[in-house]
């Protein structure tokens, strides 16, 4: 088990510490990233990364409570190919280029996350580590395209040594609201994580099939 935990710890570190490559990732919420075509009205503009500072409100871990699965395996096995093809119709890349972009973005060995109360459990196959997390505020980031994103940050207060010291949620929401999916950043350096915008492991509810997740992505 110690070997398994060491492997998971390494996977966590690798997944969350890819270097900044200058291309704003999923957090930019631009049309070339997530396939959400919200208009720039008051509600949609927040989703796309345009909001006022006074719209940002503190959020509790309960906003992300639930059993979540990584979408990375569905990219690898081709389930999300229709999503990549659709992006190519509306974006500035072909389907293969979008797939490569999301290969970097979605990549992770953590295939499942369960959040209950203060506890966050990271699964890699049958191996898992758990930590208790307390709110550590939020940070608003500004991207090269001019839009912004908010990271809601939680710090480990107890739990397994291999569990990351910090987790940072980004889900295109800036005030208390239940998430329907999210991007998660994790590691032991709070500040360094804020510079990570190329690798954003993404999670949807575990009770959704890969086909349903693809449909969800296509419908927004």
Of 186, 169, 79, nearest in space to 129 by CA: 186
d(CA 65, CA 117): 7
Cα 166 to the center of its chain, rounded Å: 14
Instruction: At 101, list the tokens.
Output: 């972009």
Per-residue pLDDT of the chain in tens (220 residues, 90 and over written 9): 444 443 444 344 433 433 233 333 444 433 333 333 333 344 458 888 999 999 999 999 999 999 999 999 999 999 999 999 999 999 999 999 999 999 999 999 999 999 999 999 999 999 999 999 999 999 999 988 889 999 999 999 999 999 999 999 999 999 999 999 999 999 999 999 999 999 999 999 999 999 999 999 998 7
pLDDT at residue 16, rounded to an integer:
40
Nearest to 61, CA basis, from 114, 132, 117:
117
**SS3 category, 165:** coil
């Amino acid at each position: 088990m110690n070997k398994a935990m060491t492997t998971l710890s390494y996977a966590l570190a690798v997944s969350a510490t890819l270097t900044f490559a200058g291309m704003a990732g999923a957090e930019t919420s631009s049309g070339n990233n997530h396939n959400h075509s919200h208009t720039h009205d008051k509600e949609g503009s927040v989703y796309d990364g345009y909001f006022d500072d006074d719209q940002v409100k503190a959020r509790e871990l309960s906003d992300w409570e639930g059993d979540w699965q990584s979408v990375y395996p569905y990219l690898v096995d081709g389930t999300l190919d229709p999503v990549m093809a659709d992006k190519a119709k509306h974006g500035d890349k072909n389907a293969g280029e979008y797939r490569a972009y999301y290969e970097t973005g979605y990549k992770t060995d953590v295939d499942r996350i369960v959040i209950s109360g203060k506890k966050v459990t990271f699964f890699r196959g049958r191996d898992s580590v758990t930590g208790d997390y307390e709110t550590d505020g939020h940070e608003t980031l500004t991207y090269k395209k001019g839009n912004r994103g908010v990271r809601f940050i939680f710090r480990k207060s107890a739990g397994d040594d291999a569990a990351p010291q910090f987790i940072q949620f980004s889900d295109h929401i800036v005030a208390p609201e239940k998430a329907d999916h999210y991007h998660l950043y994790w590691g032991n350096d709070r500040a360094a994580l804020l510079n990570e915008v190329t690798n954003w492991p993404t999670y949807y509810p575990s009770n959704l099939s890969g086909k349903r997740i693809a449909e969800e992505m296509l419908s927004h």
